[in-house]
Amino acid sequence: MIEVIFLGVGEAFDEEFPNTSILIHYRVGTSPVTLLLDCGFTAPPQFWREEPEADILDGIWISHFHGDHCLGLPALLVRFWEEGRSKVLTLLGQKGIDTFTRKSLDLAYPGIYERLGFPIRFLEVEPKKDVEIFGLTFKAAINSHSQRDLALRIDVQGKSIYYSGDGKATPESLALAKGSQLIIHEAFHIETEIPGHGTVTESIDMAKRCETSNLALVHIQRKVRRQAIDKMQQFIHLAGSVNVMVPEPGYRITL
């Protein structure tokens, strides 16, 4: 069983919904594993409310280096230090994940990296460079965004979760999502094309083409989100057999 918890579902500057961030729980044998997908500047408080225990988290995936997806790392890591974390933490992302993490920590709390008191392991995941860890496989493809963004596919226990990060789908990311049980996709607008962003209608079409069972629409522009919720019945009609969701913080789905 895999539990997916939507800690945050908002875009960068949403005053109501925290930055999009997803928590994944599952077991490898009898051992629990917890993974965090993205950690923007408003995401850490949502994580702490859900998981206050400092050693619970095993790994963090960072899709790209925009602040609403990664600049919560300093707060998260320094609180782990305050709470006496001892377990190794694995940070996964594209090339440069180690340099970015060190720089962001040094900007926020100079000198803290050397004093954290728990090991950090960095693993680069790139297209055609899969990584196996925690009993799962990470696969990546480049999405179309204003900053290099890697869409992620996680394969675990015979099931697959696809997470877009930010951006419009590319042929490569579309192929990556094929056959997944859950697609979590950025849908900044309903159908208006905005460079570097996805839409609700494109995400639904993608889920149908990929023959996925569930589609979660996240990172919707703050003024558009209410329109999207009002049109849910229309989206469900368009989606056919796909279960379409516009989750709120705390929403859970089990695969």
Q: What number is the average pLDDT over the span 28-32?
A: 89
Q: pLDDT digit string (tens) for 96-119? A: 999 999 999 999 999 999 999 999
pTM of the model: 0.97
Which CATH superfamily hosts domain 3-254? Answer: Ribonuclease Z/Hydroxyacylglutathione hydrolase-like (3.60.15.10)
pLDDT cut 70: percent of the chain above it: 100
Q: Which two tokens stand for residue 127?
A: 């297209």
Mean per-residue pLDDT over the chain, rounded: 96
Q: What is the mean pLDDT of residues 173-181?
A: 97
Q: What is the mean pLDDT of residues 160-172?
A: 97
Q: Are 191 and 224 in contact (CB under 8 A)?
A: no
Residue spans of the domains in the chain: they are 3-254
Residues β-bridged to residue 19: 10
